[in-house]
Amino acid sequence: MNELKKHFPAIQENEVLATYTTFQVGGPADFFYRLTDNRELPRLIQAAQDAQIPYFLLAGGSNVLFDDAGFRGLVIKLEDAEITVQNEQITASSGVTVAKFLQTAVDHALTGMEALVGLPGTIGAAVRGNAGCNGLETKDILLKATIFNPETGKTTEESPEYFDFDYRYSKLKESPEIVLQATFQLQKRTQTPEEQLSTMQEIRSKRVKAQPFGLSIGSFFKNPSKEITPKAAGQLIDEAGLKGKTIGKAQISEKHANFMLNLGGATAEDIKQLARLARDTVQKQSKITLHEEVQILSPMGKTAL
């Protein structure tokens, strides 16, 4: 560890992770580093591997549930926020928020991404999980992405086909590869700036009306395949009679049953127990298995619900 801190003196120790997630739960990470320049990432990961320290890449914190005991290793917070525009293409580093990306598009009279307004998180996480809403997914506008593979030490530029995109999925979820930056293809705006902003405001308003306010990560479970059922995960949980159900300070939202809320002071265990109750009750009543959309971490790394 001394060698790691020698090369990266800004590494913090015992940093509470709740601060960095939209759920606002999670204990301390042994080590924590704000990565503001993605060019440092290969060297940082190599140093962690040499020191035999596990690491986890944290983006916007809107799709992760840390354990109450924290994380026994190094959490790398991706904060490289470089963004450039060339003609009708926007290239954004992994740490750029979706909100900043959208504002940049508006500022440069580009359109084609309005449906993503209100989507939390960062560009890197959006590519990794093929994030989307209102009928638009990240893959629909992605032109290419630069990724780093810690196993080979190589950085490569890949086309969308490389990622095997599916609903809330890319193959990066099954590999150690990390998105460094991504380029998106948009179009020149044909409407007035006021009309574009009005469209985005309408989409944002619909999102606010449909989704509950509070400390949450958004949808906890993926919607089942349409081949299995036309019902969304929230509808299945609602039909299981669990809307408003609480465990500790965690609640299944009364407004949207696929949202787990931290009412203030919830623990990660409260939320996991509530999610397990929802999953098991739906399985018992509907014979459908719900799969979590959120990344759930134990103190030693990724785990299952």
Active site residues per annotation: 168, 219, 293
Which value, in Å, is the radius of gyration of the alpha carbons in the chain?
A: 20
Q: Residue length, the chain?
A: 305
Q: Rounded to an integer, what distance in angstroms lies between the CA atom of residue 64 and that of residue 273? A: 16
Q: Rounded to an integer, what distance in angstroms lies between the CA atom of residue 15 and that of residue 64? A: 16
Token output for 175? 């590999």
DSSP symbols for 64-75: EE--TT-EEEEE
Q: Which amino acid is at 224?
A: P
Q: Which SS3 state, helix, strand or coil, does residue 193 take? A: helix
Q: Rounded to an integer, what distance in angstroms lies between the CA atom of residue 137 and that of residue 148? A: 23
Residue 150 in contact with residue 157, Cβ under 8 Å?
no
Query: How many DSSP H helices and E strands does the chain contain?
Result: 7, 19
Q: Which amino acid is at 27?
A: G
